[in-house]
Structures are given as structure tokens and as C-alpha cells.
Amino acid sequence: MKLSVQIVGLLLMVFLISACLPLTTPTQTTAPEPQPTSAQNYHPLETRVGMEEIDKVINAVAGGDLQLLRSLVKFTTAECTLRDGLGGPPKCREGEAQGTPMEVLPFMGGEGSFIRNDEIGNWQGIEVSGLYAIYRVSADVRSEEYYPAGEVAIIFVAPENRPAVSLRLSEGGIVRVDHIFDTSPQSLEDILQREASEVLLAPPISR
């Protein structure tokens, strides 16, 4: 009888100890929630519009073909100036008289600048990550002196928050290079609204 009581007491003690231990929950591995893919604000550089003169420029930029890109430049004839200061016509070199005509490729950004015909071999082209839009330039967009507006504009998006780049074309040649520092969607859309008579490649639709 005494042994039975001891056994019962021992079993009761084991039960009480087990009841006090924390329950072990099996480890459950949960896959992370898929993150939404942010919408790209540009078309890939493989995009083409089926127009030879435009696609040739895109091919040169996308392929990093500097020789082809430089060969596509169509120079503007401008008379040099001896005046100091930013903007205006290209500056005369030492020994050149005021008004000497020269062939240049205009650049527009914060201020205007030029690359001369004999300097084009130093131009390293443009570094871009995609295409934003392509459009025909409206006849209402006036060409500024020494800075032709062009007939077609190709807007490229650059990487790492760098300025976007617009190549202005006339008769298949690059006649001007613009650096666009405000690359916000609204600013780029404003350019199209202000200048485009026909959009050949519309901006991507944000999702």
C-alpha cells in the first residue's frame, strides 16, 4: 500500500513538472512577401521605331559605336565671336578674325556650347540607360540662333540621376545635343506638350 502511494506521488510530480514546461512550437519558415516591381520610366535601348534614320542613331547610342555616332553629326555653320561671356555664338580661337565661319555641333544645357568639326573625334558620345520618347518637333518651335531645333528629337534617360539627353535630328543627322537636368515626369511631359507635333514613341505608361 505504501509503495502504491509513492508511485502515485511520483507520477503526480512528473505531471506537474511537465505542465510547467513551455510548449515547443515547431519552427515555421515563411517565404517573404514578393515586392512589387517598380515601373520603369523608360523603354529599353532595344526599342526601335522602324524608321531607318532614327533607328540608326539609336543603334549607335545603344551599341556605344562612337565612330558611327560621330559620323551622324550634321554640323551647323556659325560665325565665331571675340566677345567674352557665356552663350552666344562659338568663340574664335587665337588668330581667328571676328565672324570667321566654322562648322559646329551645338550643345544646350545650363549654358550653350559647341564642338567644332575638327574636335568631334574627342566627343565621347552619351551614356544612357533607356529611351523616354521620340517626337517630331513642331514647326512652332523656333530654332534659336546657332541652335537648330531639329525635325525629330530622341530623349534618352541617363543612369544614376544624371541629366537626360535629347538628340535633335534633321535629315537623319544629329544637329544638336540637349542636356535635360529636370528629369521629373512632369518636366519631361511638359517638353512633349510644348514641342511635339507628332509622338513617334510615347513615354511608358506608369503602373
Residue 207 belongs to some domain of the structure: no
Residue 11 belongs to some domain of the structure: no
**Which tens digit of pLDDT belongs to each residue from 118-131?**
999 999 999 999 99
Residue 132 belongs to some domain of the structure: yes
**Which tens digit of pLDDT belongs to each residue from 150-204?**
999 999 999 877 899 999 999 989 999 999 999 999 999 999 999 999 999 999 8
Note down the domain range covering 196: 52-74+119-201
**Which tens digit of pLDDT belongs to each residue from 55-96?**
999 999 999 999 999 999 999 999 999 988 777 899 999 999
* pLDDT value at residue 40: 61
Average pLDDT score over the chain: 83
pLDDT, average across residues 109-138 = 94
Residue 187 belongs to some domain of the structure: yes
| Domains of the chain: total | 1
Residue 36's pLDDT band, with cuts at 50, 70 and 90, is very low
* pLDDT value at residue 146: 87
Residue 9 belongs to some domain of the structure: no
Residue 100 belongs to some domain of the structure: no
Residue 20 belongs to some domain of the structure: no
* pLDDT value at residue 85: 76
d(C-alpha 60, C-alpha 65), whole Å: 5
Task: List the one residue out of 139, 101, 105 whose CA is nearest residue 122.
Answer: 105
d(C-alpha 144, C-alpha 58), whole Å: 25
**Which residues 6+ apart lie within 8 Å of 76 measured at CB?**
103, 104, 105, 106, 146, 148, 175, 176
Residue 195 belongs to some domain of the structure: yes
Q: Is a pLDDT exceeding 50 seen at residue 39?
A: no
* pLDDT value at residue 4: 47
